[in-house]
Amino acid sequence: MRSKFLQKLLYNWQVKIICLLLAVLVYFVLLFSIQSSRSMTLPLKVTLPDGYKAESTIPKSVELVIQGTEDQIFMIDPAKISVSADFTTVNREGVNYAVVEIDTGDLTSYIDTTALSIFTRPSQVKIYFSK
């Protein structure tokens, strides 16, 4: 004999699966609809290597993008965030790349950064060096 619980669980199982899938879909739609994005242009501090000359243009700024919920995004003071690219490890002529590093300072002391996404466009900088 089947138990009553199993009978109730399997009764109209197709409708129950469709409802579960719709609930998951609604959850993700709501999750992504409350996500916001804020972008700003910040000056880029570039550290050049000794003994090499930059032949290409050195970027002056990058775009910083912060994604998360609106209440967290607008609590961030962009003046406390700095971006830099370090080329001091360059040891050859030609095109060299450096990752743009983001220094958020004391941001983690007043905001939960696990729910935020902070990145730059471009994420790396390239400069042509000669001796």
| pLDDT tens string 8-61 | 888 888 999 999 999 999 998 887 777 788 899 999 999 999 999 999 999 999
First to last CA, the chain: 86
Whether residue 59 sits in one domain with residue 80:
yes
Question: What is the tally of structural domains in the chain?
Answer: 2
Residues 42 and 62 sit within 8 Å (Cβ to Cβ): yes
Give the residue numbers spanning the domain of 67: 36-130
Phi and psi torsions of 2, nearest 5°: -85, 150
What is the C-alpha separation between 125 and 101, in angstroms, rounded? 10
* pLDDT in the model for residue 113: 76
User: In this prediction, what percent of the chain has a pLDDT beyond 70?
Assistant: 98
Q: Is the pLDDT of residue 2 over 70?
A: no
Residue 53 one-letter amino acid: K
Whether residue 85 sits in one domain with residue 49:
yes
Is the pTM value of this prediction over 0.85? no
pLDDT band for position 63 (50/70/90)? very high
Residues 6+ apart with CB under 8 A from 80: 104, 105, 106, 107
What is the C-alpha separation between 16 and 42, in angstroms, rounded? 51
Whether residue 45 sits in one domain with residue 10:
no
pLDDT band for position 120 (50/70/90)? very high
Whether residue 3 sits in one domain with residue 63:
no
